[in-house]
Amino acid sequence: MSPEGGRRLDGGYETSDTFSDGAVSDGESSSPDIEAQKMTITPARNARKKSILPSFRTRDDDVLSGGGDGEDRDADSHSDITDITDPSPANSISSVNSISSLLKEKILMSLPKALKRRKKTKEYKLRAFVAFLFLAIVGLVGFAHVFYHQQVLQRAYFEKIRFNKEDRVVKLYNKDGVEIAKGYLGVNLPPTYRVFPCLAENRKNGKVCLEWMHRARLYLSYKEEQEKDTLFRCYTFTWESLSEDTLLTDCFENGEQHGHWWGSVLRRYFINSRGVAISVDPETPLYVSINAQDEDRLCLQARHDKFAYVTHNGLPQLNYSVCTSRNMKMLHSFLSEKSLWDGIKEDEESFIHSLLSEPVWQIAPRVKEQLTENFVVSYTESVNTLGFVRQGHVLLNEHWQQYVGDLSLDESRFPTMNETIDIIHRRGFRIALTIQPFISTESRNFAETVDKELLISERNEEEVRKVPALTRYKSVKSAGMLDVTHNETVPWLCSQLKALVDVYKVDSFYLDMGTAYDMPQFYLLRKNLTNPDHYKSILTSQLHHKYQVIGVSGAVHRPPAPTFVSLPTLSSSWESLQVIIPTILTYGIIGYPFLMPGPVGGDYIPEPPRPGASSNTTFHGFGIGDQKSPEAHLPNKELYIRWLQLATFLPVIRYSVLPSDYSDSQVLEQAKTLTTLRQQIVNPQLIKLVSEALNSGVPLIRPLWMLDPFDSYCHTVKDEFSIGEEIIVAPILKQNTHEREVYLPAGVWKDGIEGSLRKGSRWLHSYKVPGDKIAYFVKMPDNTRF
């Protein structure tokens, strides 16, 4: 058979054109002779099966087309082609070449479809890639915009600090590039106000100067110091107000809160566990807020007012430094004052040792009239009767005078006090009197001090009239206050004290300066003080040069040695007991190593209950419990014992209520045991730490993080403390409690109750503490083996 002639395929050519060898045309004859002759002819090349496919040279648009009716055409063509047969000998399927040709044709048949499918897939991938590329470009442009505003505008003015002057956000980083502090500067400046570089005449060498026109000017400076292998970086921020309407306020994020408020002792110093500390210049008219408006922020504000910062020159300035280091302990040590008291005398250091090793016996009866000469004699006799305590220092409160400010003993109650003091001395006691800068209007010295203009005057428009500014002080309802800036005031006060020393042989004085509320509101000093807090420092330092000052009630600067600083007065309650440890740790951290806690059991009782409230509290003095009880004027027995246990490990132990005042012998036995414990373990450790405190300023009573600044638990424990690095104390601070959680820092510790050895860096859960015991642990050598 011959192939169908004239049939045109999609390729545009005849199928007959593809048959080239051994084909017979329609016009030729097919006689047998001729056929035989042809059969003897040897072909020039092997015959192959005629192709049943069209030529592969099809149109490009057909091959590359991805749609239309191409698939239908392929199906039709394939159906027609497969019906073609050819019986010619040249097309024998037995030849090897024919098999090869068939395989090639099969491949060629499927190739156009595969190309089409692959092309479709490639088109989808191309479109997806273009879309992805477009989104990536948009994202990169957006990121670049954000990066520009957040990073480029946050200029690294100095090492490890970035400041965005537009948003006024400052960020500090540690050596590893981790953010450790974030501040918001000038929070009261309108956000629309633009910032400009300062004019040349307002710039200062080594400082970056930025100005908000007619509002404020900011100076930034930087310094770093190296101590051994530790680097300390300090950044100074100095704001100058250019308008009376501008309140200079900077805030810093607090993070997790474990801070404690101050009491009667101040230092403009804040430190956190990330190794960041803020120190404010003492001349700044400072106001502080912590977590105001439910924001976890510490805010510093410079503001003049009509009370504390009434005296000033020009507009307020906010000046402070932010220092960083790799850990809290190193930073605190770096910022602590070194060589605190150069040139301390031998007798002054001996006086410190006596306060650490001997009790202070505070005689402060509930009623002024009860403080008599006989009462003092009886009290000291009771102390001697105890038989297990050292005599120590007898401290009389302000009621040794008839009126506050007399500065002389009330002869009606102390007719032969010189002889009594002599007896007290022979018994081994020292005598100390409480003095204060307040002069009652009923005092015999009030008229004299007014006449000599030794009192703080009232601020008024008529400067010629020197009217004393009156205030209140404790039970005194009307009193004047000595003006220590007057050149004649301190000499007059010293002359009054000299008479007491000469006549009565008084050993020392305790200086009670009251609180900020005791300062006259509209005061006027002879010499202006930019900060009224300096009043306490001036009075303490001037008295120290003349007489022995055993302690002060408050301070803003560390008093000269051997003066101790007292903790605030506390009521006789369990809440007050829980305040002692955070307070004493805070005082120590801000630079006051020598501290004098209040008396065991508290200073006073809470205010009387309101109508309808519980009546188990008396109205004044000590008195917790039933007023009809003979011990109504005493603190609660359990509270007294737990308070005594804590006081045993503090720098100074102070008594007002004696253990023998209780009828229960358990109290007295507990006092004996704790006294022995203090003499054998605590006192030697405290005395050993005196030199270190004087030379480096580190506190005697320390938080646990000073033992291990990298232990996160040590930063959060607030009801434990350490004496140096050798003793850890964990007292019971809650009523009817006989167990507690105890955390031990790294090391090996000897249990003070059981005597067993315990490994540190772990919690002791539900640690049992009997009522007559206190949990404490003594550090053992590092090579100690269990």
Query: What pLDDT does 129 receive?
Result: 80
Say how far apart CA 93 and CA 102 lie, in whole Å: 9
Please report, rounded to a whole number, the percentage of residues in the chain having pLDDT higher than 90.
Answer: 53
Q: Is the pLDDT of residue 625 over 90?
A: no
One domain for residues 199 and 270: yes
Cα 21 versus chain centre, distance: 100
**Cβ(394)–Cβ(380) below 8 Å:** yes
**Domain annotation covers residue 249:** yes
How many domains does one find in the chain? 3
Per-residue confidence at 121, pLDDT binned at 50, 70, 90? low
One domain for residues 228 and 98: no
**DSSP conformation class of 617:** B
Ranking 314-323, 342-351, 583-592 by mean pLDDT, the lowest is 342-351
- State which residues form the domain around 215: 155-335
Query: What pLDDT does 98 receive?
Result: 66
Alpha helices in 399-471 (DSSP H): 417-426, 446-451
Structure-token match 């067993």, residue found: 756
Q: What is the mean pLDDT of the chain?
A: 81
One domain for residues 323 and 191: yes
**Domain annotation covers residue 512:** no
Condensed to tens digits (0 to 9), the pLDDT of residues 218-227 reads: 999 999 998 8
Say how far apart CA 537 and CA 559 lie, in whole Å: 7
- Nearest residue to 498 (alpha-carbon basis) of 540, 435, 557: 435
Please give the torsion angle defined by the CA atoms of residues 262, 263, 265 and 270, in that order, rounded to the nearest 10 degrees. Answer: 0
One domain for residues 86 and 210: no
Q: How many CB atoms within 10 Å of residue 525?
A: 17
**Domain annotation covers residue 756:** yes
Residue type (1 letter), 146:
V
One domain for residues 182 and 104: no
Per-residue confidence at 28, pLDDT binned at 50, 70, 90? very low
Between 30 and 208, the more confident residue is 208
**Domain annotation covers residue 470:** no
Is the sign of the CA dihedral 52, 56, 61, 66 positive or negative?
positive
Predicted model pTM: 0.77
Distances (CA, A) of 754 to 60, 325, 596, 691, 757: 98, 40, 30, 32, 9
Ranking 345-349, 648-652, 737-741 by mean pLDDT, the lowest is 345-349
Query: What pLDDT does 110 receive?
Result: 58
Last residue of a domain, one of 335, 357, 381: 335
Q: Is the pLDDT of residue 279 over 70?
A: yes
One domain for residues 91 and 231: no
How many helices and strands, by DSSP H and E, does the chain display? 16, 35
- Nearest residue to 389 (alpha-carbon basis) of 683, 187, 151, 612: 683
Q: Is the pLDDT of residue 32 over 60?
A: no
Please report, rounded to a whole number, the percentage of residues in the chain having pLDDT higher than 70.
Answer: 76
One domain for residues 165 and 278: yes
Q: Is the pLDDT of residue 446 over 90?
A: yes
Last residue of a domain, one of 309, 335, 361: 335
One domain for residues 199 and 266: yes
Q: Is the pLDDT of residue 405 over 80?
A: yes
**Cβ(615)–Cβ(623) below 8 Å:** no
Query: What pLDDT does 627 receive?
Result: 45
Q: Is the pLDDT of residue 16 over 80?
A: no
Say how far apart CA 458 and CA 523 lie, in whole Å: 5
Ranking 48-62, 166-180, 373-387, 693-707 by mean pLDDT, the lowest is 48-62
Is the sign of the CA dihedral 287, 290, 292, 296 positive or negative?
positive
Condensed to tens digits (0 to 9), the pLDDT of residues 163-198 reads: 787 788 999 988 888 888 899 999 999 888 889 999
**Domain annotation covers residue 267:** yes
Query: What pLDDT does 528 receive?
Result: 85
**Domain annotation covers residue 294:** yes
Per-residue confidence at 35, pLDDT binned at 50, 70, 90? very low
Per-residue confidence at 620, pLDDT binned at 50, 70, 90? very low
Condensed to tens digits (0 to 9), the pLDDT of residues 719-752 reads: 999 999 999 999 999 999 999 999 999 999 999 9
Query: What pLDDT does 607 receive?
Result: 59
Between 585 and 254, the more confident residue is 585
One domain for residues 299 and 225: yes
- Nearest residue to 190 (alpha-carbon basis) of 225, 214, 219: 214
Strands 230-241 and 248-253, how do they pair?
Answer: unpaired
Query: What pLDDT does 293 receive?
Result: 76
CATH of the domain at 720: 2.60.40.1180
One domain for residues 69 and 181: no
**Domain annotation covers residue 80:** yes
Last residue of a domain, one of 58, 92, 116: 116
Ranking 2-16, 388-402, 491-505 by mean pLDDT, the lowest is 2-16
Query: What pLDDT does 96 receive?
Result: 53
Please give the torsion angle defined by the CA atoms of residues 725, 727, 733 and 737, in that order, rounded to the nearest 10 degrees. Answer: 140
Distances (CA, A) of 373 to 363, 397, 421, 603, 678: 11, 13, 9, 22, 31
- Nearest residue to 733 (alpha-carbon basis) of 621, 570, 588: 570
One domain for residues 105 and 159: no
**DSSP conformation class of 494:** H
**Domain annotation covers residue 439:** no
Inter-helix orientation angle 665-677/637-647, to 10°: 10
Ranking 23-32, 147-156, 389-398, 416-425 by mean pLDDT, the lowest is 23-32
One domain for residues 87 and 198: no
Q: What is the arithmetic mean of pLDDT over 636-655?
A: 97
